[in-house]
Amino acid sequence: MANTQPEVTQGSPGLLCDRGPYRGQRLLDLVVVALVAVPVVSVGLVCALAIKATSRGPVFFRQQRVGMGGKSFEVVKFRTMLVGDNPLIPDASRITLAGRFLRRLSLDELPQLLNVVYGDMSVVGPRPTLAYQVERYDQRQLGRLCVRPGLTGLAQVRGRNTLSWAQRINFDLEYIQTRSVWLDLRIIAATPRQLLGGSGVEGHDPHDPLTRPDEPGC
């Protein structure tokens, strides 16, 4: 089966991929988006009204993330924090009233379905990360960039933020080596239970060297 080789870029020196997205993954992404489009738009309107009713500022939050092959793209989320200079590691005191609810159920991630439509993301894959985190990957961890980032993934259904970044990357690499349409369907089916249970919704460990915005060891 042929595989797409991601472009090697300056942001991902030495990236070598023996497996790219599987054949039919893009079709699965678009089918899932089509199936959930109507309920997502309805829920999204309620989320947008809640955001505007509880804080000043835009409905959406946009941020540059690193995608397949090290290419940068703009991820879209519902805004959950006060407008201003917010730290990379979220400060709980700056999360809005609506934002707490949106984060609890990961509803702030719904606009990323637009990223799926644009082809920057897939429904299933490693979560997209920030450039400074990618710069700290070792050669093995760079393999995480061989596929499109996803809305959900193996790491999300096995612990989310309760895992260290190293553990999450290990699950992501396991997914990349074993991925198939059937694995994606199982991950998609397991995601609602994980979200409703609320496990792992808390932020990352601020002492994790792949989380800290300053240099490791500083």
What pLDDT does residue 5 have? 36
Question: What is the per-residue pLDDT across 33-43, written as a single tens digit (0 to 9) for each?
Answer: 999 999 999 99
Domains in the chain: boundaries: 25-197
CA torsion 26-157-183-11 (nearest 10°) is: 50
Which residue stretches of the chain have pLDDT < 70? 1-14, 197-218
Other C-beta atoms lying within 10 Å of the C-beta of residue 47: 23
Question: What is the per-residue pLDDT across 31-69, written as a single tens digit (0 to 9) for each?
Answer: 999 999 999 999 999 999 999 999 999 999 999 999 999
Which residues are CB-neighbours of 206 under 8 A, at least 6 positions away?
Answer: 89, 212
| Secondary structure (DSSP) of 23-84 | TTHHHHHHHHHHHHHHHHHHHHHHHHHHHHHHSSS-SEEEEEEE-GGG-EEEEEEE--B-SS
**Phi and psi at residue 62, to the nearest 5°:** -120, 140
Q: How far is CA 149 from the centre of its chain?
A: 6
Tell me whether residue 85 is exposed, middle or buried, using C-beta atoms within 10 angstroms of its C-beta: 0 to 12, 13 to 18, 19 or more: exposed
How does the average pLDDT of the chain come out, rounded?
A: 85
Its pTM surpasses 0.85: no
What pLDDT does residue 212 have? 66
